[in-house]
Structure 1
Amino acid sequence: MIREQSYIDLHMHSRYSDDGEFTPKELVAQCRAAGIRIMSVTDHNCAKANAEAERAAAQAGIKFIPGIEIDCTYQGVDFQLLGYGIDYRDTAFTKIEEHIARQNREASYQRLRLINQLGFHVTAEELGAISAGDYWPQSWTGEKFAQILLSKPEYSDHELLKPYRPGGARSDNPYANFYWDFCAQGKPCYVKIEFSPLAEVIQIIHATGGKAVLAHPGLYFDHIHLLAEMVALGLDGIEVGSGYHTQETSAYFYQQALAHGLLVTGGSDYHGTTKPAIRLGEYVCPLPEKEIEARLEAAGLLA
């Protein structure tokens, strides 16, 4: 898949995400080096990166849109919504963060038990060691399990891990792909966390001055029939351009955005080490970046 370089990247994660690598200031520096002129930091269920990133972006001459990525549920399906232009200081985002954090420790231990039931041996001590210093130290994600498992010599020939090793079918983003294959909803090591209802998350984003955008919709192809209902609940936009989308996928969701009158956005979903194939500003989108910028401005997201 050939990704195109854009000067707009509205989907990236800092260390305030449980799977991000860099500080907000480091992300801004990387964006400047990559020629990105419009950016947003969209951490998982946490808005704390925005203050630092906004200051650094202003100093770097980069237009900054405050953001967040919130896990939510609709019709029994887990989705992720991007909130753009939010008042990131609002206590509603602190409550969302605390709601998820309260569940993470128990969910992490359940995930550990399920991973080991696959025939592996991972310990809480190993997970604690690689999580030390993280903003979310009690969140043992599928990516962290993959990091440990793929580093163990005794599993060098394990059949379940072969797809994630160099040359394997899932080796482009091995840690993240392990998460999607084993720990995502419907997979053998999935642990349910009580996310807020989608309608409630849309209301929070709107109440704090933001726009609600469906993240990487290509990951939800099996449930895209729910899109019209989401729009009726107040969904404002769709992430047509994504580091995960092929040209065909992006073209399909661009048509969906047109049909429903939705804002079109684009972002790489850059994390760093956990997704090495994803690079800042690289994604496919049929809408030219100049037009994306114009629509962002029309939506009141660019000062």
Structure 2
Amino acid sequence: MSIVDLHMHSFYSDDGEYTPTQLVDMCHQSGIQIMAIADHNWIKANKEASLRCKELGMTYIPAIEVDCTYKGVNLHVVGYGIDDSEEFNKLGESIEKQEQACSLKKLELTNDLGFELEKAQLDALSSNGVYTGEMFGEALLNDPRYLDNELLKPYREGESRSDNPFVNFYWDYYAQGKPCYTEIKFPTLEDTIKLINEHGGIAVLAHPGNNLKGRFELLDEMVELWLQGVECFSSYHPEEVNQYFYNKAKELSILYTCGSDFHGKTKPSIELGGHHSNVEEEIKDNLKKYHLI
């Protein structure tokens, strides 16, 4: 049983499902004692989650997951221990407007693959006019016209990409370098670290095994730019990758964390606490060292 999970998403993330209070209650039921909700480019969940954690005797670390770029690679950096500055939500507003503007282009690119999705099908899944790759996956996989579509076959039950079909569809078609990718202007890594640090936070690279696209050497460069930590234990990492970044964090003397990246329905195979770490007591000591708990 895990007692620490420092990366999960509420419904304030476009691809999240649960309210902050629901997430806290779910963590409490799972035995998690220390938690953080790191929504994409928003801090809206932190106050509500912190209050509920206090009621239940749990420890909450305020957090945000910021989309940013370094050397042409799109990254996610989590800021832990941040204050409640509106600067973070202004960033969220800027990115949301860009994503809304790109959503119709994504629909066009998706239909270029041979589909005939309609805007109304995406609007039924989106509350703010942002169409994520996961939403396209959900709409297509639930569309009876495409039950036998060969392109969708890998995401059907029992097939190679069926463990997390919606998010796998996103990674395969909407992620950077894929056929339906649309570019958003994200802040640089340097500016992201600065923003997090200026507001009392610690900047940590999320799921590096997934983020760095095999260019693990970039972590050393990022630490030289004052990146302060790495999420070495992640649900996305095989054991050898967890171990690589655990050893690397110790070598670089930076904070190392663990996070499931739980979202709910978009990643059904990921459970709260499912980060595969066996050094949670060390992580707790690390969090104390950085004054996060």
TM-score by length of structure 1 reads: 0.95
Tell me whether 1:183 sits opposite 2:174 in the alignment: yes
**Would you say the 8 A contact 1:74–1:197 is kept in 2?**
yes
- What's the Cα RMSD here? 0.9
Which amino acid in 2 is paired with 1:97? G
Cα distance in structure 2, aligned partners of 1:60 and 1:279? 21
Cα distance in structure 2, aligned partners of 1:146 and 1:101? 20
Tell me whether 1:29 sits opposite 2:25 in the alignment: yes
Task: List structure 1 runs of 4+ shifted beyond 4 angstroms.
Answer: none
State the match for 1:116 in structure 2. Answer: 111
Alignment gaps of 5+ in structure 2: none
Alignment gaps of 5+ in structure 1: none
State the match for 2:193 in structure 1. Answer: 202
The counterpart of 1:281, out of the listed 250, 273, 277, is: 273
Tell me whether 1:230 sits opposite 2:222 in the alignment: yes
Compute the displacement of 1:138 (Å).
1.6
State the match for 1:241 in structure 2. Answer: 233
Compute the displacement of 1:91 (Å).
2.1
Compute the displacement of 1:221 (Å).
3.5
Tell me whether 1:52 sits opposite 2:48 in the alignment: yes
Cα distance in structure 1, aligned partners of 2:248 and 2:172? 27
For residues 96-154 of structure 1, give each alpha carbon's deviation from its aligned partner in whole angstroms, at most 9, with x where no partner exists. Answer: 112102211111111111111000111111111121xx3xx121000000001001122
TM-score by length of structure 2 reads: 0.98
Compute the displacement of 1:224 (Å).
2.0
Tell me whether 1:291 sits opposite 2:282 in the alignment: yes
**Would you say the 8 A contact 1:150–1:156 is kept in 2?**
yes
Which amino acid in 1 is paired with 2:256? V
Cα distance in structure 2, aligned partners of 1:186 and 1:262? 30
Tell me whether 1:94 sits opposite 2:96 in the alignment: no
**Would you say the 8 A contact 1:50–1:67 is kept in 2?**
yes
For residues 153-206 of structure 1, give each alpha carbon's deviation from its aligned partner in whole angstroms, at most 9, with x where no partner exists. Answer: 221111111110001111000001000010000111100000001100000000
**SS in structure 1 at match of 2:250:** helix
Tell me whether 1:146 sits opposite 2:142 in the alignment: no
Cα distance in structure 2, aligned partners of 1:113 and 1:225? 36
Cα distance in structure 2, aligned partners of 1:263 and 1:221? 21
Percent identical:
49
Compute the displacement of 1:285 (Å).
2.4
Tell me whether 1:159 sits opposite 2:159 in the alignment: no
Which amino acid in 2 is paired with 1:94? N
Cα distance in structure 1, aligned partners of 2:137 and 2:110? 10
